[in-house]
Amino acid sequence: MRSPVNGRTAAFLFVLAMASIVWLIGANAGWNLNDIKKRAEDAARTAVGGGLTNDEVIRGLKEALSIGAKNAAGNASRLDGFYKNPRIKIPFPPEAQKVKTMVEAIGMRKQVDEFVKTLNRAAEEAAKKAAPIFLDAITGMTIQDGFEILNGPDDSATAYLKGKTTAPLAREFKPIVKAAIQKVQVTKYWNPIATSYNRVPLVKKVNPDLDDYVTKRALAGLFELIADQEKKIRKDPAARVTELLRKVFGSR
């Protein structure tokens, strides 16, 4: 028995083969280009089922990702969108865990808690600017990408977006995070913690790159929320808020 992945690949290759055959037959028969295009699309629709054209599949998936990105950014950018969501809450930097342990032991737990809160406030502030960056990154999806995503696991579109865009998104997102860190005064809460720790004899001085840390954790949290949105669109007909989404995801 073939695996689902091999089956999807075979189906996609069959679509391409059908379209190519129609194209060659039409060209030899002297059909005009519009006739060839229409017959090739008809062959593709017959092969994949559901009456979907390649264009509809790609537009539907881009629409799903766009809606997911907007909703995820909206949820994350609310007050406590990161801070009170245990799945994406940004913790004290792991590389500075010794700092946390030591300063809490000398009575600075409140300062540690306030610092963690400001890290999450920075992510929430930055998330307000995230949606347009994600939307710009959704444009390069190919036909093959589309069919593999449509028939893939519940987070296939999110995984595609994450794989294709994490590095460029991080570059664009980092200045936004930096500005957000300054706005919520993260260093105001970090500096007393670091200063108290660094006064301890013989300890290695710490100064984590908070811009980089919050950027990576904020993007990871946003991708997780986008995956939730994608799963909802795939599983829940009520979440398919446009006719195109109902047509594309209802055909699976």
Contacts of 48 (CB under 8 A, 6+ apart): 11, 15, 57, 147
How far apart CA 155 and CA 148 sit, in angstroms, is: 12
Contacts of 155 (CB under 8 A, 6+ apart): 227, 230, 231
252 burial type by CB count under 10 A (0-12 exposed, 13-18 middle, 19+ buried): exposed
- Residue 150 pLDDT > 60: yes
Torsion of CA 34, 35, 41, 44, to 10 degrees: -150
pLDDT of amino acid 227: 95
pLDDT of amino acid 32: 54
pLDDT of amino acid 70: 94
Summarize the confidence of residues 43-56 as an average pLDDT.
62
How far apart CA 85 and CA 100 sit, in angstroms, is: 21
Instruction: Using a pLDDT cut of 70, give the percent of the chain over it.
Output: 79
User: Pick the residue with more confidence: 210 or 41?
Assistant: 210
DSSP character string of 130-186? HHHHHHHTTTT--HHHHHHHHTS-TTHHHHHHHHHHHHHHHHHHHHHHHHHHHHTTH
pLDDT of amino acid 34: 57
**Confidence class for position 100, pLDDT limits 50, 70, 90:** very high
**Confidence class for position 158, pLDDT limits 50, 70, 90:** very high
- Residue 190 pLDDT > 50: yes
How far apart CA 44 and CA 61 sit, in angstroms, is: 18
How far apart CA 82 and CA 222 sit, in angstroms, is: 9
- Residue 101 pLDDT > 90: yes
- Residue 249 pLDDT > 50: yes
**Confidence class for position 207, pLDDT limits 50, 70, 90:** confident
DSSP-derived 3-state class of residue 8: helix
Summarize the confidence of residues 59-68 as an average pLDDT.
91
Instruction: Using a pLDDT cut of 90, give the percent of the chain over it.
Output: 49
pTM score of the predicted model: 0.75
- Residue 133 pLDDT > 70: yes
pLDDT of amino acid 178: 95
Half-sphere CA count of 30, side-chain side, radius 13 A: 0
Domain segments of the chain: what residues? 1-49, 57-250
**Confidence class for position 147, pLDDT limits 50, 70, 90:** confident
pLDDT of amino acid 24: 52
- Residue 47 pLDDT > 80: no
pLDDT of amino acid 7: 44
pLDDT of amino acid 9: 43
